[in-house]
Amino acid sequence: MDTYSDIIDHPHYQSKTRPHMSMSGRAAQFAPFAALSGYGDAVRETERETDPRVELDESELALLNDKLQYLYLCRADHPRVTIRYFVKDRSKDGGSYESITGTVKNIDAVFCYVVMDDDSLIPIRDIRSIEL
C-alpha cells in the first residue's frame, strides 16, 4: 500500500467538460488570504516618512518678504520664478516640500496666495524660498 503500485501506471485524469487549470490558478488556491484587511496598508502608512515644517528665522522672513514685495510690484511683467513650498500631509503630521516653476500671474494680498500662470494657488505662509 505504501508504494501506490495500484495507481502508479494509470494516466493522469483530465476532465472532458472543464478546461485545464493553469499552474498560477492552482497556486492561487493555496495562497494565504488577508485575515486582517487593511493591515498591510496601515503598516505601509506608518513606515512612510514625512518632513517637518521648517520655521524661517527673522532674516529668512525678511528676505522672503522683500521678494514677495518685488513680485507684487512687477506682477504685470509676469516674472518667472521657482517657489519651494510646504504641502501638509493629509493623514500624518508633517508633509513634504515641493517646487513649482512658472510665471507669477498675481499676488492675492487679501487671501495671502501667490497665483501662478497655471492658476495654482500657493499659500504665502507655506513658502520656504523664492528664486527669481
Which domains, ranges and CATH numbers included, belong to the chain?
58-131 (2.30.30.100)
Per-residue confidence in pLDDT tens, the chain, 132 aa: 567 888 888 888 888 899 888 888 888 887 776 677 888 888 888 888 999 999 999 999 999 999 999 999 998 998 999 999 999 999 899 999 999 999 999 999 899 999 999 999 999 999 999 999
> What is each CA distance from 1 to 4, 7, 9, in whole angstroms?
6, 10, 14
User: What is the C-alpha to C-alpha distance for residues 64 and 70, in angstroms, rounded to an integer?
Assistant: 10
pLDDT score of 90: 92
